Structure formats: C-alpha cells, structure tokens
Structure 1
Amino acid sequence: MVTTLDDTKRLMIGERLADLKAFQNLIISNEQKLIDACPYEDVRERLQNMLSDDQKNIGIIDTVIVQYGIQAEPSAATKTFVPQFEQMMSGDEFTFYQKLMHHELMKHGQAMSGIMIHKAAQVVGADIEVAITPLNTVNFEGRAHQEQLKGILEQVGVREMTGQEAKQGLWGRVQDALAALSGVAGSVITQNTDKQDINIQTLIQLDHNKVNTIFTEIGATKDPQKLEEYFGQLYKDLLAHAQAEEEVVYPRVRSFYGDDNTQELYDEQAQMKQMLDEIKSIDPAAADEFRSKVKDLMDAVGDHIRQEESTMFAAIDNNCSSEQKEQMATEFKAAKSKIQQEFAGSM
C-alpha cells in the first residue's frame, strides 16, 4: 500500500512558498511605511505604484499556494527575520535612503526566492511547474521593481547628501531599459492568471490542468518511489478539489444546471474518492497494477472534467454575472485552502 502521501521535496517547496508569502506581506507593509515617511512627492508616487503591484501579487501567491496543494508554515528563519526587520525599519536610526536600500535588498531576495522555486519545480515535477506558472509575473515585476529602486536610491542619496537633484544617470537608464523590455515581456504581465477578478471557471480549469499533468507523470514512470510521490499529490489534489466543489460550486449551480446533472457530478466524485482509496491500498512496487488502476481513475476523471468544462461552465456563463463568478472563485479558493490545511494536520 502507499505508505505516505507526503514527499520531502514537495514539502520543502511548500515551505518556500510560505516564506515567499510572508516576505510579500512584509514588502507590502514596508512600502506603506516608506510612503508615509517619504519626503519626496515624485518618489512617493513611484513607491505607490510598486505597492499596487505588490498588493495584486499577494493574490497571485495565494492562488499559487492553493494550486500547489500543500499548505505549510514559513521557515523558522523567516519567522525570526520578519519581526526583526519590521523593528529595524520602524526605528529612527536609519535615514530614508538607508531604509530604501534595505528595501531594495529585500526585493532582490524575494525575486531570487521566486526563481529558485521555479528551478526546483523543474527538477521535482511537471505538475508543480503547472501550479506555479503565475509566479512568473511576480518574479518579473519584482525584478523590475528592484531596477527601479536602484534609480530611486540614486536620486534620494544625492538629495540627502547635497540637497540638489542628481544628473541624468542610473534612473534614466533604468527607465529606458524598462521601456524597451516592456515590449518583450509585457505579454507575461497581461497573461497574469490571478487578477483580482479571476472567475470560477478559470480556477477549476487550473486544477484540471494540474491533475492531467500528474496523470501524465504517473504514466511515464514505473519507479515505485516516483509513483508514490505523484499519487500522494494526486490524492490530495483531487480530494481538495472535489470537496471545495461540493461545498461551494455544486450547491450554487443546481438551480440552473438541474438536479439530475448536478447529482451526476456528485456521484462521479463519490466514485472517484472510492477509486483513490482503492489505489492507496496497492503497493506502488506492483507498478503495472498500480498504473492500471490509475489509468481507470484517469478515464473517470476525464469524463467528469469534460462535463464540467462543457455544459457546467456554459450554464455558469449563461446564469451568473461576472461578479457572481468572481465571488464563487474567492469562496472556492478559501474552501480549498482550509481543506489543505486540514490535510496538513492529519496526513
């Protein structure tokens, strides 16, 4: 039988994602403090623009964590660092320039953390890459902010030391570079999959894409260790997805999707849960039997996905406003997060 649903590598990535969220919240808090303390109107405006990006990006990180499927606590080092940094930045011993310099360093660390998570995902599993793809936007904007901060530091530093404006230098070069880069990378930003108005169909489809990727990974290996790792993630992802749909989505669509159609979705998921438990009882070392049962599950889940993405999605479009679809997405994400936290405490 499957001995564990957890994998050390995946748990470590989960912890790094929790660190990323903790630092993103710290960045937001610090930007608000810098804006309040900023003596320069032009710099305050640039910091306000960064704050708007970072407030949006915390939503992206939240969705990535839910899509990743493992809720974790930040590392002990992060829990120690955050209050120390907050205390340091709240004191009077640093000039505004020095506080900006520390903020730029934190932005650099955040950008590198996002890149390392992406690199680790490439090694551990394709399904992780699918789940964390929206982080590309966060990473890009973090690097762009870091370059902008270098230019701001040049301006502020000269003003503090001389009381005069810096000549055209780093800030102008940064602005020119970002303008050129926007033509190449702008599509990355516009493809952001977690705008504040993400709808329920998009969230459900993200789950479906990840599950299909795990099925592909299982089909491509006979390694018992890999089979156990992939199945552990599949088991948790499918259960969290199903339970969140049953709590949030199906009760909401029943009135216009119909009793029979909605009950069919409930029944299919009950069958899926039974199949998951049957597979869990099989030793992955019996690779052929294990993969055969997973193939049966994949076929059942595939039929379920096709029904949801065709008729149920169409019914939602025809009967729900954009605001209602966005609200359903918010509730669905919250329900999944709560279920994943319960998994973390029991599995």
Structure 2
Amino acid sequence: MVTVLDDTRRSAIAMELADLKALQELLIATEQKLLPKVSSDQEIGDRLSDFLRDDQENLTVLNGVLAKFGSAAQPRDTTHQYIEQVNQLMDGDELTLYQKVSAHERIKHQAVMTGLIVHKASQAIEDEELKTAIAPLNQVNFKNRAHQEQLKGVMEVLGTRELTGKDPDQSVWARTQDAVAALRGVFDGLTQ
C-alpha cells in the first residue's frame, strides 16, 4: 500500500529536520566551548577537534537535506529554549567538565534519535522524493552515533579523574573485569 505524504506529515518531518539542524549547531557550539577546557589533555582535545570537524560537515549535509526537502521549517520553540539553557550551563561554572561532556553526549544522543526517526519516517512513507532528500542523513546519523560511543570513553576518563584525581585503568585486564561485572549484573537481574 502506498502512503501519500500529505502537507501535515511533510511539515512534521520538516520540523524534525529543523530541530536536528539546531541540535547540530548546538553540538558545534558546545564543542567549541569544551575544547579550551581540555587543552591539557592532547588525546581528548584531538578527539573533540575531530568531532568538531565532523559536526561542521554534518551541518553542511543537513543544510543540503533541508534544501532538497524544500521546506523552510523552523525549530520548535521548546528546542530554542533547550538550546538557551544548554548554552547558559556550558558558559557557567555550575557544571564540572565531566558534567558538561555528559550533557554534550546527551545532545548527541538526541541528535542521533531525531535523525533515526526522520530516517524511519522516510522508510514508512512510499515517497521516492522524500527518500532521496533524506538519504544523506544516514551519513550524519552514522557519525553522530560513532561520536556518542567515543564520548562515553571521554566521560569515563574525565569522571574518574574528577572523583579520584587519577586516570582510569584502561588495560585489557581492566576491560575484562568491566565486562565480567556487566555480565554479572545481567545474570543477577535475570535471577531476581
């Protein structure tokens, strides 16, 4: 059965894309604010620089998707409010560096999910024009998802440093112990 994309659904998808673009711009702004704060750690700084470069490319791709989609939708008011709150927290001293990176990872997660939902919507609707317009979004989703996983490692390092003043053990043995602890948690959960 072929589903026709009516104006209401097209507008809803366009608004999601506009929200995604606003989140992508927020990611770039946040990375620019975080970079000077991690200047003493070459590895984390390099990683954030790579994220920034990728996110700038992602923004270019999103602009192209929006142009192909042919809509001048604007982000929701709630998205604007959210961005203002995040910017205030990133500029302020209320959050530690770990907490700021953690907030950044949550923005990445939100961007990933928004991109995936738009992709799924394009699959659900038999509209080749929409699918063609949305196709480059997969590149953005892939990079954002990869960043999200890498940010977990950055958070592990920063969080451990903040709590102990030391770097976490990143050896193979430590990773094995982490995996065993995770499996133990799964099995404990199954037996309760």
- 1:239 matched to which residue of 2? none
* 3-state SS of paired residue (1:56): helix
Deviations 1:131-186 (A, max 9, x none): 1100101000000000000011111111222222211169x97xxxxxxxxxxxxx
Offset, 1:84: 1.2
Which of 150, 165, 168 matches 2:167? 165
* AA of the residue aligned to 1:147: E
| Equivalences for residues 199-238 of structure 1 within 5 A | none
Provide the C-alpha distance between the structure 1 equivalents of 2:56 and 2:71, rounded to a whole number of angstroms: 23
User: What is the TM-score with the length of structure 2 in the denominator?
Assistant: 0.82
Tell which structure's C-alpha radius of gyration is larger.
1
Provide the C-alpha distance between the structure 2 equivalents of 1:165 and 1:74, rounded to a whole number of angstroms: 40
- 2:65 matched to which residue of 1? 64
- 1:153 matched to which residue of 2? 155
Provide the C-alpha distance between the structure 2 equivalents of 1:117 and 1:12, rounded to a whole number of angstroms: 10
Which of 129, 132, 136 matches 1:130? 132
Offset, 1:41: 2.3
- 2:143 matched to which residue of 1? 141
| Equivalences for residues 170-209 of structure 1 within 5 A | none
- 1:35 matched to which residue of 2? 35
Deviations 1:31-73 (A, max 9, x none): 0000022242221111001100001110000000001111211
Provide the C-alpha distance between the structure 1 equivalents of 2:70 and 2:105, rounded to a whole number of angstroms: 31
* AA of the residue aligned to 1:130: T
User: What is the TM-score with the length of structure 1 in the denominator?
Assistant: 0.46
Deviations 1:2-26 (A, max 9, x none): xxxx710001111111101111000
- 1:74 matched to which residue of 2? 75
* 3-state SS of paired residue (1:17): helix
Provide the C-alpha distance between the structure 1 equivalents of 2:80 and 2:152, rounded to a whole number of angstroms: 28
Provide the C-alpha distance between the structure 1 equivalents of 2:26 and 2:110, rounded to a whole number of angstroms: 12
| Equivalences for residues 36-115 of structure 1 within 5 A | 36-38=36-38, 39-115=40-116
Gap change, CA 1:114 and 1:97, over 3 Å in 2: same
Q: Cα RMSD (Å) of the superposition? A: 1.7
Provide the C-alpha distance between the structure 2 equivalents of 1:154 and 1:169, rounded to a whole number of angstroms: 14
* 3-state SS of paired residue (2:170): coil
Aligned length: 167
* AA of the residue aligned to 1:145: H
* AA of the residue aligned to 1:116: I
Provide the C-alpha distance between the structure 1 equivalents of 2:95 and 2:132, rounded to a whole number of angstroms: 42
Provide the C-alpha distance between the structure 1 equivalents of 2:14 and 2:103, rounded to a whole number of angstroms: 26
Gap change, CA 1:10 and 1:59, over 3 Å in 2: same
Gap change, CA 1:144 and 1:169, over 3 Å in 2: farther
Runs of 4+ in structure 1 displaced over 3 angstroms?
none
Gap change, CA 1:152 and 1:169, over 3 Å in 2: farther
Offset, 1:115: 0.2
